[in-house]
Structure 1
Amino acid sequence: MLTYKVPPEPARKRIALWRKLKGMGAVYLQNGVCLLPKTDDHTRQFKIIENEINKMAGESILLETTALDPAQQEKVIARFRADRDEQYKEFIGKCSDFEAEIAHETQVQHFTYAELEENDVDLKKLQSWLEKIARLDFYRANLATEAAERLKGCEALLDAYAQRVFQAHEKSCNEPHKSQ
């Protein structure tokens, strides 16, 4: 657990600190009190952050904590899962957008390499994003499986679209050219 207090100004430093902690997957119990599961990496990162807080003329305390009973521990784990589920929910929404884009391109028969490349870039962003979320999913959030399945669906959809692009390209290359 990290507890900290930093000066309100400059706000950008306080916000950067909050973003860094959230980016590590920390759960806030209240302002200035956050938790991460105890690992060597988290301990090292908390110590680095403690140093940054000191440079900001702030105060911090690092503690190793234990829940008093299983119900308290489950409350904390539920907070971690809820944070990840919010991220997974947003991810799943972006998968829906990706699927809609492929469906639209297929419907209008827009089978070009440029469109395939654009969609491939979008799929790589989805893959990278899911990897980031999964790295912070310390307690296997409820939507983890659904998110992974949706990504697999997007990958299969892009593969099918790519086949259509290749077929369209082969067809256009094999058509006799009309001369005037």
Structure 2
Amino acid sequence: EHPVLTMTESEQLWLLECYQLIRKRLNRPTPGRYMREATVSLVRAFYFEICNLLDVRVPQSNSKTQSRAYAIFDQFIKLVSQHFKHERSVEWYSSEMCLTPKHLSEVVKLVSGKTAGQWINTLVIIEIKSLLMNTPLSIKEIAMEMNFPNQSFLGKYFKNTEGISPSDFRKGMPG
């Protein structure tokens, strides 16, 4: 309903500063022991800054249908955030939420513009990239952590989405 929102110049500069801070953190030559946790915290703070901007600009709808759709989406995102390392099927999430997979995907697409499967895939890929960039774990260890049957499955999953193998992605990182 609100595809374009206008920000003031100061809001734009603030978000740009937040974004640049995340980029600086990711480009540090020596990651450090708590690199991942610090980066996740910065990304969360950035997300909440955007939510605050949206909250001020987007009128709250009184529609029960829309409220229900947003409630389903919120529940879905919370579940995915907790379980994406081990569960990648829309069917599993829809079952947990007592919905059909089709209904879940339709509601998620209506609210966010992406299907449930796309959201799951996005979170999985972001986590794999984070592990490749910020940990010394081997690709085999990452496959185990992300609940892939083996390194080959992880490689195919990653390459299908990113167009590059996990090892090539890791080699191509700045540093």
TM-score by length of 1: 0.26
Q: Which has the higher strand share?
A: 1
TM, length-normalised to structure 2 = 0.27
